[in-house]
């Protein structure tokens, strides 16, 4: 009897375990899954393959994953202002891109540091030195001539403005240093815009040179085609001197129509002269920077003296 009672009690416990909340949840999930399958099976015209695709797409639309972040191209083109005003970041970006297009080697670290020195920042700060240490090479002059990026330069400007070093104890009668945050105000934006106005004529001249070279190339191609067309009739008579001028091309700019070979040679001379002027302006700016450093510090390092002599030799070679 005891054994029968114990066996009956075990059966009741097994039945209670089978009809618990866990089993009810399993039944509910089974019914829901079956209804979802039958619904999509009916919508897909009783096609098992299309029903499988529809269920997979349904699962993919569920919010089970984190949203996708920004793409690599968008991340590379996004500039983090790091607390700087949008007007200042826009003006600095325009100056950086214009200078990058103007110089064959792009923007170097010395260009950025020279601009920040003109804005009034201290060139002995730790942020300044760390920026130079990230340049290529072992010598300081080599690092100054290495290239830099836009985001790196903006980060340096933000560090100089919002992360100043602790001021040292002032001597008697010495004025406290200027607050760096005041150097990134409207005055800095105006300084960058003035530099842009100075560079604008140079850029317009470069665009004119590019249009001039394109027009010269078109005229040369036209003259070559005209000479090839006149080759079969060369036995009938030599062309006169007046026919040596290039006929006007349909659709060509008016300023380049009907140019002779002598005028094209003058255009090439003007092109080389403009390039020499641009190179001389860049070398003169570097020479002025070294001379200003010499006047402020009194002496130059051996590398800086060699660089100054090299710049002067290059300028003398351009003038010859």
C-alpha atoms less than 13 angstroms from C-alpha of 96 in its C-beta half-sphere: 21
pLDDT at residue number 278: 78
pLDDT at residue number 4: 53
pLDDT at 201 over 60: no
Q: Of residues 270 and 241, which shows the higher confidence score?
A: 270
pLDDT at residue number 169: 59
| pLDDT, tens only, 107-128 | 999 999 999 988 888 888 888 8
- Distances from the Cα of 135 to the Cαs of 57, 112, 132, 144, 300, in angstroms? 50, 13, 5, 7, 21
pLDDT at residue number 240: 46
The highest-confidence range among 61-65, 174-178, 197-201, by mean pLDDT, is 61-65
Q: CA 253 to CA 136: how far, in whole Å?
A: 46
pLDDT at 235 over 70: no
Q: What is the mean pLDDT of residues 262-279?
A: 64
> Measured in whole angstroms, how far is the alpha carbon of residue 156 from the centre of its chain?
16
Estimate the crossing angle of helix 150-162 against helix 109-119, to 10 degrees. Answer: 30
Q: What is the mean pLDDT of residues 224-253?
A: 49
Residue given tokens 């054994």 in the structure block:
3
Q: What is the mean pLDDT of residues 137-150?
A: 89
pLDDT at 42 over 80: yes
What is the enclosing helix (H) or strand (E) of 250?
none
pTM of the model: 0.47
Percent of the chain with pLDDT over 90: 13
pLDDT at 50 over 60: yes
Q: What average pLDDT is seen over the chain? A: 75
Q: What is the mean pLDDT of residues 265-284?
A: 71
What SS3 state is found at 295? helix
Band of the pLDDT at 274, cuts 50, 70, 90?
Answer: confident
Tokens of 90: 């826009």
**b or e along 148-172 (b: 16 or more beta carbons within 10 Å of the residue's beta carbon)?**
bebeebbbbbbbbbeebeeeeeeee
Q: What is the mean pLDDT of residues 283-293?
A: 82
pLDDT at residue number 257: 46
What SS3 state is found at 273? helix
Neighbours of 271 (CB within 10 A): 16
Q: Of residues 211 and 31, which shows the higher confidence score?
A: 31
pLDDT at residue number 23: 79
The contacts found for 235-238 with CB under 8 angstroms, 24 or more apart, are none
pLDDT at 177 over 80: no
Q: What is the mean pLDDT of residues 291-306?
A: 79
Q: What is the mean pLDDT of residues 312-318?
A: 85
- Distances from the Cα of 199 to the Cαs of 2, 208, 290, in angstroms? 106, 14, 21
Q: What is the mean pLDDT of residues 252-278?
A: 57
pLDDT at 243 over 60: no
């Amino acid at each position: 009897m005891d054994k029968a009672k114990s066996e009956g009690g075990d059966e009741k416990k097994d039945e209670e375990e089978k009809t618990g909340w866990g089993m009810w949840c399993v039944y509910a999930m089974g019914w829901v899954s079956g209804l979802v399958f039958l619904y999509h099976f009916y919508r897909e015209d009783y096609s098992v393959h299309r029903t499988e695709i529809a269920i997979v797409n349904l699962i993919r639309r569920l919010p089970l994953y984190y949203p996708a972040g920004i793409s690599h191209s968008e991340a590379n083109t996004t500039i983090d202002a790091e607390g700087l005003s949008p007007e200042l970041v826009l003006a600095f970006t325009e100056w950086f891109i214009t200078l990058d297009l103007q110089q064959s080697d792009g923007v170097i670290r010395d260009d950025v540091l020279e601009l920040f020195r003109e804005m009034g920042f201290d060139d002995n700060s730790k942020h300044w030195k760390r920026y130079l240490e990230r340049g290529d090479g072992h010598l300081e002059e080599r690092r100054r001539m290495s290239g830099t990026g836009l985001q790196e330069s903006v980060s340096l400007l933000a560090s100089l403005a919002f992360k100043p070093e602790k001021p040292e104890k002032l001597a008697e009668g010495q004025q406290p240093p200027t607050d760096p945050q005041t150097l990134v105000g409207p005055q800095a934006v105006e300084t960058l815009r003035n530099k842009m106005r100075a560079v604008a004529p140079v850029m317009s001249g470069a665009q004119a040179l590019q249009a001039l070279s394109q027009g010269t190339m078109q005229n040369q191609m036209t003259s070559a085609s005209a000479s090839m067309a006149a080759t079969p009739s060369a036995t009938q008579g030599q062309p006169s001197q007046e026919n040596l001028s290039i006929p006007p091309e349909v659709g060509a700019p008016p300023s380049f129509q009907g140019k002779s070979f002598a005028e094209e040679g003058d255009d090439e001379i003007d092109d080389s002269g403009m390039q020499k002027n641009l190179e001389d302006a860049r070398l003169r700016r570097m020479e002025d920077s070294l001379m200003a450093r010499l006047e402020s510090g009194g002496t130059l390092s051996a590398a800086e003296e060699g660089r100054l002599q090299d710049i002067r030799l290059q300028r003398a070679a351009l003038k010859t």
